Amino acid sequence: MSQTLSEKPIVPAVVTETATGERKGLTKKEIAADHPTWCPGCGDFSVLALYFKLIEKRKLWHEKITTISGIGCSSRFPYFVQAHGAHFIHGRALPFASGVSLSRPDLHVFAFSGDGDAFSIGGNHFTHTARKNIKMTLVVMDNQVYGLTKKQTSPTSPLGFKSKTDIWGAVDYPINPAKQAISVGASFVARTSATNPNHVLAMMEAAMDHDGFSFVHCLSECVEFYDGAFDAANPRKGGVFNEVPKTHDVTDEFAAYKLASADFPGNFGVLYKVNKPTKNAREAEINASFQSKFTGQKDWQILQKTFDRMK
C-alpha cells in the first residue's frame, strides 16, 4: 500500500427529505469518501462495501454513527467513509470508542481494526472493553499478517508462517480471536469471511442490533503479503464455508467455546450471544438515581452542597 491518500474534500452531508417529510436513507455516494487506497483484491474492500450496504439498508444517518479505527491497512477504513469518525492510534481504537460510547449513548459506535491492532498492541483493550460490555460493534479484519508494515508475523499468523520477522517460519502459537472473546466476556461473538458478502452483511447487522459489545471476527485476505491464506474457507478456491449448525445454542458458552476451537476453517456465523446489562445501561441507572435526588436543583446548587461538606 504505497499510495498516499488523496486530498479530496469531504462533500457535506445534506439532510434530504422525501415528499412525505420522511427522511431518506443515505445513498452510497453520500457515504463514500476517498476511493480506498488498498491493493486491488484486498479483502478489506468487501468489508467496506458491506458497511455501506448496512448503512443504506438500515437508514443510518451520519449524525447517528461514528466509525473509529486504530492504525493498519484495515484501520484506514474510516478514511473511506463519510461520517463522524476517527483514525486513532495503533492499538487504541477501543479506548477511544469507549469514550464515545459512554459519553454519547445516542450514537452507534463502529470500530474497525486489524489482527495486530486488536490482538497484539491493543490486546489488553480488547479484553477489557469486552468484559465491560461497552456498547459498540468491533469488526476485526484478520489477514493473519501485518499488512501496513509489509509482512511481519501477527498474533494470528499460523505456526510456520514465513514472514520478514520469522524467516524460518513462525514459532509462536497463534491466538484464536473468537475463543478469546468468549472467554473474556464478550456478549456477542461471530465469525465471517470477506469472501462471502451476504454473510458479512448478516453478521454486521446482527452485531449492530446486539445491545452490548459485539465482536465480528472477519477473515480478510491480504493478497500482497499472505495470498491464499483463507482458501480453505472459500468454496470458489476449493474450500468449504461451513455455517454454524442450526442446532447450536448461541447462549451456551461452553458449546460456543468448543465450536470456536475447531481447526481452520471451522464454522462461520454467530457463535455466542447473550443478553446482559451493558456498562452504558448500568451507568444510565446510576446517573438517574443520583440525579433523582437533586431534581430541580441547578448544578451550582449541587456543587455548593459538596463544598458545604468540606467545612
Ligand X SMILES: Cc1ncc(C[n+]2csc(CCOP(=O)(O)OP(=O)(O)O)c2C)c(N)n1
In three-state secondary structure terms, 267 is strand
Should residue 90 be labelled a site residue for ligand X when binding is judged by CB under 6 A?
yes
The three three-digit cell numbers of residue 279, written as one number: 456498562
In three-state secondary structure terms, 64 is helix
Strand partners, 215: 138, 189
Helices (H) and strands (E) in the chain, counts: 10, 8
For 114, counting Cβ atoms within 10 Å of its Cβ (0-12 exposed, 13-18 middle, 19+ buried), the class is buried
1 contacts which partner out of ligand SF4, other proteins, Mg ion, none, CB within 5 to 8 A by kind?
ligand SF4
Should residue 73 be labelled a site residue for ligand SF4 when binding is judged by CB under 6 A?
yes
- Residue 202's nearest CA partner among 211, 193, 124 is 193
CA distances 274 to 14, 82, 185, 205, 207, Å, are 38, 32, 10, 16, 12
225 contacts which partner out of ligand X, Mg ion, ligand SF4, none, CB within 5 to 8 A by kind?
ligand SF4
Q: How many residues bind ligand SF4 (CB under 6 A)?
A: 12
Other CB atoms closer than 10 Å to residue 305's CB: what's the count?
Answer: 10
Q: 267-292 burial, b if ≥16 CB within 10 A, otherwise e? A: bbbbbbbbeeebbbeeeeeeeeeeee
Q: Could you give the string, one character per residue 15-44, with x where binding to other proteins holds by CB under 8 A and - elsewhere?
A: x-----------------xx----------
Should residue 96 be labelled a site residue for other proteins when binding is judged by CB under 8 A?
yes
Contacting range for Mg ion; rule: CB under 5 A; set: 114-122, 160-168, 205-213, 283-291: 114-122
The three three-digit cell numbers of residue 128, written as one number: 477489557
- Of 217 and 248, nearer to Mg ion (C-beta) is 217
CA distances 72 to 107, 140, 211, Å, are 25, 11, 28
Shortest distance (Å) from residue 310 CB to ligand X? 42
115 contacts which partner out of ligand SF4, other proteins, Mg ion, none, CB within 5 to 8 A by kind?
Mg ion
Should residue 47 be labelled a site residue for ligand SF4 when binding is judged by CB under 6 A?
no
Should residue 147 be labelled a site residue for ligand SF4 when binding is judged by CB under 6 A?
yes
Contacting range for other proteins; rule: CB under 8 A; set: 79-87, 138-146, 156-164, 261-269: 79-87
Task: Tell which one of 62, 135, 179, 248 touches other proteins (CB under 8 A).
Answer: 62
Task: Tell which one of 30, 44, 117, 142 touches ligand SF4 (CB under 6 A).
Answer: 44
* Upper half-sphere CA count for residue 206 (Cβ side, 13 Å): 21
With beta carbons less than 8 A apart as the criterion, state whether 143 and 221 touch.
yes
Task: Tell which one of 66, 133, 137, 157 touches other proteins (CB under 8 A).
Answer: 66
Should residue 115 be labelled a site residue for Mg ion when binding is judged by CB under 5 A?
yes
Q: How many residues bind ligand X (CB under 6 A)?
A: 16
Task: Tell which one of 43, 78, 85, 114 touches ligand X (CB under 6 A).
Answer: 114
Shortest distance (Å) from residue 44 CB to other proteins? 17
Say what angle helices 123-132 and 93-103 make with each other, to 10 degrees: 30
Q: Where are the beta strands (DSSP E) in 93-151?
A: 108-114, 136-142
Q: Which of residues 224-253 bind ligand SF4 (CB under 6 A)?
A: 224-225
Interacting residues toward Mg ion by CB under 5 A: 114-115, 143
Interacting residues toward other proteins by CB under 8 A: 4-10, 12-15, 33-34, 61-66, 68, 71, 78-79, 82-89, 92, 94-100, 102-104, 106-107, 124-125, 127-128, 283, 286-287, 290-291, 293-294, 299-300, 302-303, 306-307, 310-311
